[in-house]
């Protein structure tokens, strides 16, 4: 991963998102952030990263999604002249994968569904 030949930085643009969803065809024309229970400008950017990873896999490439630590944002913004209104949601590294090496953590097995799935309610 540290020598991946391609890195794609996935940036969200909150203002562009609010602008688009305040157009008449979307049902309201204000830009009230209260309409969004979570910051979908970040979520949609993460979904785009997932699509990149799935497409890479289909092409036989290896990929990994990782974040840029917030304390490194200023250096990243400066190095690549990134406009201040954008937010780095994550980075997708791409390349041809090395032979697969199984993780030692696989020995612990999978958790049973009863530990990770809730039906109907949490009670």
84 lies in which domain range?
6-116
Summarize pLDDT for 45-54 with one digit per residue, the tens.
999 999 999 9
Q: What is the pLDDT of residue 90?
A: 97
Indicate the pTM of the whole model.
Answer: 0.81
Q: What is the pLDDT of residue 16?
A: 93
Q: Which residues contact 89 (CB under 8 A, 6 or more apart)?
A: 10, 11, 12, 42, 45, 46, 49, 67
Domain membership flag for residue 123: no
| C-alpha closest to that of 13 among 98, 82, 93 | 82
Summarize pLDDT for 57-79 with one digit per residue, the tens.
999 999 999 999 999 999 999 99
The CA distance from 81 to 9, in Å, is 13
Check which CATH number belongs to the domain holding 10 and give it. Answer: 3.40.109.10
Pull the structure tokens for residue 38. Answer: 């979570």
Domain membership flag for residue 49: yes
User: How many domains does the chain contain in total?
Assistant: 1
């Amino acid at each position: 991963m540290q020598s991946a030949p391609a890195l794609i930085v996935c940036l969200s643009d909150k203002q562009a998102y609010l602008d688009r969803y305040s157009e008449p065809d979307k049902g309201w024309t204000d830009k009230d952030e209260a309409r969004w229970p979570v910051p979908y400008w970040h979520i949609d950017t993460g979904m785009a990263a997932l699509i990149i990873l799935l497409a890479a896999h289909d092409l036989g490439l290896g990929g990994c999604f990782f974040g840029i630590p917030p304390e490194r944002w200023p250096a990243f913004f400066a190095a690549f002249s990134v406009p201040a209104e954008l937010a780095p949601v994550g980075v997708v590294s791409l390349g041809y994968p090395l032979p697969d090496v199984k993780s030692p953590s696989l020995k612990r097995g999978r958790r049973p569904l009863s530990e990770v799935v809730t039906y109907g309610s949490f009670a």
